[in-house]
Amino acid sequence: MASLNHPSNLKYSKTDEWIRLEGDQAVIGITDYAQDQLGDIVYVELPGQSGQQVAHEEKFGDIESVKATSELISPIAGEIVKANEELKAHPEYVNDDPYGEGWLLVVKLANPSQLDSLMSAEQYLDYLQGR
C-alpha cells in the first residue's frame, strides 16, 4: 500500500471513489487503491448524457477489469455535467492516472453537506488498513 497515492486535497468514500471540489461542481473517480485492486481495466460504462441525475451512494456505472466487474457508486447526489468520453478508447487511463486523465464524472452538487460524511486522505488510509 506504501506505493499507492491518495492526495490530501481529495475526499474519499468507503466504496473507493474520490471526489474533488471545483466550485459548485465535483469531479469523481476511483482511488489508486481501487484501480490497483482491480488490475488492468478494459472497459468503463458511464452514464451517457449530461443532465442525468446521480443519487447519493447509488450506482452510476460499471468498471470492468480483466478479471472482474465492479459497480461505480456516487459519493454524492447531483446532476451530471459531463462523463469522461476518453475512457471509451482508453480505459487504461484509470490505471495509469486515476486522479488525472482517469477521472469518471463531473457532477453539479445537489447537496454540498453530503461532502461532510466523506473521509479525508488520512481517514481513508486508516480505513484501508482496517479492511
Considering only 66, 89, 113, 116, the residue that binds another protein (CB under 8 A) is 66
d(CA 51, CA 89) in angstroms, rounded, equals 23
Q: Quick one: which of 27, 34, 54, 80 contacts another protein (CB under 8 A)?
A: 34
Pick the binder of another protein from 1, 5, 43, 58 (CB under 8 A).
43
Distance CA(50)–CA(66), nearest Å, equals 28
Q: Which residues have C-beta within 8 Å of that of residue 69, sequence separation ≥ 6?
A: 62, 63
Beta bridge partners of 64: 43, 69
Q: Which of 58, 62, 86, 126 binds another protein (CB under 8 A)?
A: 62
**Comparison of 5 and 111: residue with beta carbon closer to another protein:** 5
| Site track for another protein across 70-109, x = CB under 8 A | xx-x--------------x---------------------
CA gyration radius for the chain? 14
Q: Minimum CB separation from another protein for residue 44, in Å? A: 10
Judge whether 10 and 20 are in contact, CB under 8 Å.
yes
